[in-house]
């Protein structure tokens, strides 16, 4: 049976050009998906004390312009990568990437500008791919308070771990979704058995994951009937398509 396949988690920008992503998608039988900037084009992840610079402001503007241009192509959706300048999000972006790891510079969560951008994201009902430390993940989901969808990538592997998030009740919340990028089979299966398949998105995390392999992992787990929502139906519903 022919079905559309969309990758809900792929990095693309000046350092990872679309031609490279598109080639990998074609090899995996993937028709398009969600693109957001590589981290290195947004902030210096290796400098914990990094605040901002004119160089990185230009880099963010350049990569977001690049991604917006790509949305003229069929089945391409760009997500805006929020950083501590907290700019207003231009029209044309279908969602948000909110990302940092332990040891990286910290979001200025306590500022009015941060709260304002969160409120604007929620007002526009933009889904947020949230990759943060465990404590910040819990606090962020609480701030969102069900106002928009929060997608936990990798089944939570980099948000403190799947089991910790499950035990904290994060996955019980209907506005919290997951993607399968680089996740363990057992965790994907456990989520599906406990919460159903309607909040699961297929993702590859290219260039860190190989789209063809990540797609095969999902197709090995689920039935034909279940694959329709996971490989594209849930994402299309989330984005209003």
Q: How does pLDDT run across 60-87, given as a tens digit for each residue?
A: 999 999 999 999 999 999 999 999 999 9
Does 3 score more than 90 pLDDT? Answer: no
pLDDT tens digits for 14-28?
Answer: 999 999 999 999 999
Mean pLDDT, residues 102-123: 97
Does 1 score more than 70 pLDDT? Answer: no
- Three-class DSSP labels, 151-167: EEHHHHCCCCCHHHHHH
pTM over 0.95: yes
CATH for 6-238 is 3.20.20.140
pLDDT at 189: 98
Does 241 score more than 80 pLDDT? Answer: no
pLDDT at 2: 63
Smallest CA-to-CA distance from 200 within 236, 229, 162 is with: 229
Q: What are the beta bridge partners of residue 128? A: 96, 150
* 33: three-class secondary structure by DSSP: strand
Q: Which phi and psi angles does 208 have, rounded to 5°?
A: -80, -25
pLDDT tens digits for 209-234?
Answer: 999 999 999 999 999 999 999 999 99
Torsion angle of the four alpha carbons 109, 64, 10, 241, in this order, in degrees rounded to the nearest 10: 100
Q: Tokens representing 58?
A: 């230009």
CB proximity list for 223: less than 8 A, separation 6 or greater: none
Contact predicate 219/32, CB 8 Å? no
């Amino acid at each position: 049976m022919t079905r559309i396949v969309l990758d809900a988690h792929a990095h693309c920008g000046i350092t990872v050009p679309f031609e490279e992503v598109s080639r990998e998608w074609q090899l995996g039988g993937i028709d398009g998906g969600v693109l957001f900037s590589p981290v290195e084009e947004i902030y210096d992840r290796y400098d914990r004390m990094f605040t901002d610079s004119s160089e990185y402001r230009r880099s963010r503007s350049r990569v977001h312009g690049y991604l917006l241009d790509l949305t003229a192509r069929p089945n391409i959706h760009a997500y805006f990568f929020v950083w501590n300048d907290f700019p207003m999000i231009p029209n044309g972006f279908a969602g948000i990437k909110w990302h940092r790891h332990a040891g990286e510079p910290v979001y200025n969560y306590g500022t009015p500008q941060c709260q304002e951008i969160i409120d604007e994201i929620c007002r526009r009902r933009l889904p947020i791919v949230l990759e943060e430390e465990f404590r910040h993940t819990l606090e962020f989901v609480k701030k969102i308070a069900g106002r928009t969808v929060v997608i936990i990538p990798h089944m939570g592997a980099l948000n403190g771990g799947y089991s910790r998030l499950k035990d904290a009740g994060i996955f019980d919340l209907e506005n919290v979704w997951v993607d399968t990028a680089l996740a363990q089979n057992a965790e994907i299966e456990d989520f599906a058995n406990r919460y159903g398949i309607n909040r699961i998105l297929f993702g590859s995390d290219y260039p860190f994951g190989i789209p063809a392999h990540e797609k095969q992992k999902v197709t090995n787990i689920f039935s034909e009937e279940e694959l329709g929502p996971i490989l594209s139906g849930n994402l299309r519903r989330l984005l209003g398509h």
